[in-house]
Amino acid sequence: MALFVRFWGTRGSIPTPGFKTKRYGGNTSCVEVRTNESVFICDGGTGLRELGQDLIRRAKPPPMHLFFSHMHWDHIQGFPFFVPAYADHNVLSVYEIAPGQTRIRELLTGQMRSEYFPVSFCDLGAKIQSGYLEHQGKLIDGVKVRCISQHHPGTSYAYSFEQDGKKVVYSTDNELDLWLDPKLSLTSPESLRILPSEFVDFVRDADLLIADGQYTEEEYPTRIGWGHARTNTVVDLAVQAGVKQCAIFHHDPMQTDDDVDRKLERAEERARRHGSNLVIFGAREGMELKV
């Protein structure tokens, strides 16, 4: 059985509609991982609105499982516009990180308070149930889902989805560079950047790694601590972990399509210099892969 992965929102921080961002897209983070039975949704950025429109066009709404990397605006903004959440017959599971937590549900409820939005969370028609992930991961509709914490202000989480030997990792808003020796990584930019074994193992042998590679080498030094990685550091992670394909994600809102192209060219050059045949590309809206 294959995993289908579709990008509905690939932009970081804030929506960027317009001609200069048309190819990679202007909607904020939302990725669909689909099996024949279920839909796993990674983040609820503005791309979630269009995923919702697409889901209601499908013959029968599948069970929907929603995971958040974290709760910053650009990852939750689409939720109030997610039409399937309004339909009585739908079931939506929203996952907390640990049993007993209610943080994600509370924050989703909060952004639908009347000061911000005309419809309240409790008026949503769908059955919205809270789930949680166990320490060793959880089997959900035949897919093994695991998570791991990341470097981001307030913490973020990466998720992996595995079924029948196929593995997809979603890792956005992760400042990989904070795991590095700052002097070494900034003064010897060409050297392979060694990342913590725990995180490398989490990503290991992924058929597809979707990873935040927001910044170029030149942009990063003035943005340290903002919670996002350099594209080149993502390349090094993918090479160390033996990833087959890597989708650079969470494009900077200041980057035009041509800027993203240049960023990706350099990333590809870096992978080749490391002797890797990693397939690396820019995540773009409307692109669907069969893994």
With respect to another protein, which residue has the nearer C-beta, 91 or 291? 291
Site for another protein in 45-84 (CB under 8 A): none
Determine the size of the site formed for another protein (CB under 8 A): 13
Q: Is 285 in the site for another protein (CB under 8 A)?
A: yes
289 binds another protein (CB under 8 A): yes
Provide the 10 A C-beta neighbour count for residue 80. 21
**Joined tokens for residue 61:** 């709404």
The footprint of another protein on residues 230-249 (CB under 8 A) is: 245
Task: Provide, rounded to whole angstroms, the least separation between the CB of residue 245 and another protein.
Answer: 8
Among the residue ranges 79-87, 115-123, 235-243, 282-290, the one whose residues contact another protein (CB under 8 A): 282-290
Which one, 125 or 286, has the nearer CB to another protein? 286
Taking the C-alpha atoms of residue 34 and residue 38, their distance in angstroms, rounded to an integer, is: 6
Stretch that binds another protein, among 108-116, 133-141, 169-177, 277-285 (CB under 8 A): 277-285
Tell me which residues in 153-172 interact with another protein (CB under 8 A): none
Distance CA 161, CA 11 (A): 22
Tokens for 28?
């904020």
Strand, helix or coil at 131? strand
Three-state DSSP at 103 gives helix
Q: How far is the CB of 280 from another protein (least distance, A)?
A: 9
| Burial of 274 from C-beta contacts in 10 A (0-12 / 13-18 / 19+) | middle
Contact between 137 and 146 (Cβ < 8 Å) = yes
Binders in 5-24 for another protein, by CB under 8 A? 22-23
CB 233 within 8 A of CB 271: no
Which positions touch another protein (CB under 8 A)? 4, 22-23, 245, 279, 281, 284-290
